[in-house]
A and B are shown apart, each in its own frame.
Chain A
């Protein structure tokens, strides 16, 4: 089996008449943590959504674990051990916290349940206190934890986190970053999109910067830390 979990080859994506991705090549190897950076509107979310089969107008190829899945339905891609924590969360507000978690639970591709319901509650004690609350009653931070916990219950090999700390209070953000580090430490491959570039540089192995729908550059995070000029050029920081 290939050790490339997810790969985009010459990927183009469109929303109606607008051409968002212009031939993006992007690889996620097992075990790495990738920071996906770029200013607003440069195609980070579209790249993720296109690889997951959620953007219907596409050209190019998407490979999951080495197999071509460009035209596969989103649920089949997800079942290959790929979990998605979308921008703006995506909890089910009309389901209780417990139901949000239970409905998603599934064995991983290897057939094992590494993340069980009990383990999720131990990892997110705040959720354990609110099991019977409706999703709509949660605070922003709790919603984010629920989305991450729910994604983990699908026992993924790869977790895609899109703006997981967006719109949260600083204290809660710090908690979410800790959780992300904890997830990393369990060996789950992660792709992180976030506005906090220094946090991403600290925890990622590699960064990929998108600019106007193309990969502007890729670098080891250690190298990027030593070349602040590069980031400044593409990200304006």
Chain B
């Protein structure tokens, strides 16, 4: 493999990892801080992709579609937490899994009814539809760099919110002692609603960003869900920083294994998870 091909694969791996991070960060927060196993998290990614498809068809502009999609996702996230998820906090994991699995089926059925079962593609906006030439024959698409940049900015913003703001302190405090947070006059229910809506929106946003390169298809949330649980387990449940490191690791391992060991590509991330768990059963990092 020459250097340019290596660079291209490296960028692909990072871009995939950063996108995974957007989905997995919400999953790890909802699991680690709110104690909810949310199987429907992959569906949020799917919903985002379909929102991007439907809204960009409607408005004719992907950026407008994404802006509208973000608002809609946030509202959907708040309604979902208020209507269903808030009833799960005091219940055990089995009941959480049952309800959120039910949500997957409902979301897939709704998708089928509303948009149909066809595979759709979305055009990359003209302004980003270029490639940077690397050699005479190889080039790298600007849109993928755009995705990576947006993800990095969001990761930075998330770090800032969680580590530097009072809201972030409340979120972290809630993970260690919910009752005490309430006794300090803080509405923990509202904090959780925000965390859930944030997780929903990040996952949906990842789906919107990915739609032009991955296309939009039924069941697209399921694959993401499984990989994101691997990210959460490797990174350490509840650790956003861990999710970032694990997502990048998985992005790179997955991308390079497809190049070097195509026959093993389907299982390398699971092998990685098994190795990490043997070495550190609690994951790479502690809770945020």
- Interfacial chain A residues near B184, Cβ < 8 Å: 75, 78, 83, 103-104, 106, 150-151, 154
Q: Are A95 and B169 in contact (CB under 8 A)?
A: yes
Shortest CB-to-CB span from A76 to chain B, Å, is 8
CA distance A109 to B29 in the complex (A): 33
Q: Is residue B86 contacting chain A, with contact meaning CB distance below 8 A?
A: no
Q: Is residue B185 contacting chain A, with contact meaning CB distance below 8 A?
A: yes
Partner of B176, one of A79, A84, A92: A92
Shortest CB-to-CB span from A175 to chain B, Å, is 23
CA distance A95 to B180 in the complex (A): 13
Encode contact with A along B177-217: 1 for CB under 8 Å, 0 otherwise. Answer: 10110111111110000000000000000000000000000
Shortest CB-to-CB span from B189 to chain A, Å, is 7
Q: Which residue of B lies closest to A136 (CB)?
A: B176
Partner of A86, one of B170, B176, B183: B183
Q: Are A103 and B170 in contact (CB under 8 A)?
A: yes
Q: Which of B148-194 contact A (CB under 8 A)?
A: 166, 169-170, 172-173, 175-177, 179-180, 182-189
Q: Are B182 and A78 in contact (CB under 8 A)?
A: yes
Q: Is residue A74 contacting chain B, with contact meaning CB distance below 8 A?
A: yes
B interface secondary structure, majority: helix
Q: Is residue B49 contacting chain A, with contact meaning CB distance below 8 A?
A: no
Q: Are A94 and B182 in contact (CB under 8 A)?
A: no
- Interfacial chain B residues near A52, Cβ < 8 Å: 183
Q: Which residue of B lies closest to A78 (CB)?
A: B185
Q: Which of B254-288 contact A (CB under 8 A)?
A: 286-288
Q: A75-B187, A75-B188 are in contact. Are A102 and B172 (CB under 8 A)?
A: no
Q: How many A-B residue pairs have CB under 8 A?
A: 68
Q: Which residue of B lies closest to A105 (CB)?
A: B166
- Interfacial chain A residues near B183, Cβ < 8 Å: 52, 54, 74-75, 78, 83-84, 86, 90
A interface secondary structure, majority: loop
Q: Are B185 and A106 in contact (CB under 8 A)?
A: yes
- Interfacial chain B residues near A106, Cβ < 8 Å: 184-185
Q: Are B187 and A73 in contact (CB under 8 A)?
A: yes
- Interfacial chain A residues near B188, Cβ < 8 Å: 75
CA distance A151 to B170 in the complex (A): 15
Chain A interface residue bracket vs B: 20 to 34
CA distance A75 to B185 in the complex (A): 4
Q: Are A90 and B185 in contact (CB under 8 A)?
A: no
- Interfacial chain B residues near A100, Cβ < 8 Å: 173
CA distance A84 to B179 in the complex (A): 11
Encode contact with B along A96-116: 1 for CB under 8 Å, 0 otherwise. Answer: 000110111010000000000
Chain B interface residue bracket vs A: 20 to 34
Q: Is residue A93 contacting chain B, with contact meaning CB distance below 8 A?
A: yes
Encode contact with B along A46-61: 1 for CB under 8 Å, 0 otherwise. Answer: 0000001010000000
CA distance A94 to B176 in the complex (A): 7
Shortest CB-to-CB span from A80 to chain B, Å, is 9
CA distance A83 to B176 in the complex (A): 19
Q: Which of A65-95 contact B (CB under 8 A)?
A: 73-75, 78-79, 83-84, 86, 90, 92-95
- Interfacial chain B residues near A54, Cβ < 8 Å: 179, 182-183
CA distance A99 to B165 in the complex (A): 9
Partner of A90, one of B180, B187, B189, B287: B180
Q: A94-B287, A103-B166 are in contact. Are A74 and B182 (CB under 8 A)?
A: yes
CA distance A103 to B164 in the complex (A): 11
Shortest CB-to-CB span from A177 to chain B, Å, is 23
Q: Are B186 and A86 in contact (CB under 8 A)?
A: no
Shortest CB-to-CB span from B59 to chain A, Å, is 41
Q: A154-B184, A154-B185 are in contact. Are A74 and B169 (CB under 8 A)?
A: no
Q: Which residue of B lies closest to A92 (CB)?
A: B173
Q: Which residue of A lies closest to B182 (CB)?
A: A74
Q: Are B173 and A95 in contact (CB under 8 A)?
A: yes
Q: Which residue of B lies closest to A147 (CB)?
A: B180
Q: Which residue of A lies closest to B175 (CB)?
A: A94
Partner of A73, one of B173, B182, B287: B182
Shortest CB-to-CB span from B177 to chain A, Å, is 6
The listed residue with most B CB atoms (<10 A of its CB), out of A52, A54, A86, A94, is A94
Binding site for A on B (CB under 8 A): 166, 169-170, 172-173, 175-177, 179-180, 182-189, 286-288
List 6 interface pairs A-B (beta carbons < 8 Å), by A numbering: A90-B179, A92-B172, A92-B177, A94-B286, A94-B287, A102-B166
Known A-B contacts: A92-B176, A102-B169, A106-B185. Give 19 more (CB < 8 A).
Answer: A73-B187, A74-B179, A74-B182, A75-B182, A75-B183, A75-B188, A79-B185, A86-B180, A86-B183, A90-B180, A92-B180, A94-B172, A94-B175, A94-B286, A99-B169, A103-B169, A103-B173, A104-B185, A154-B185
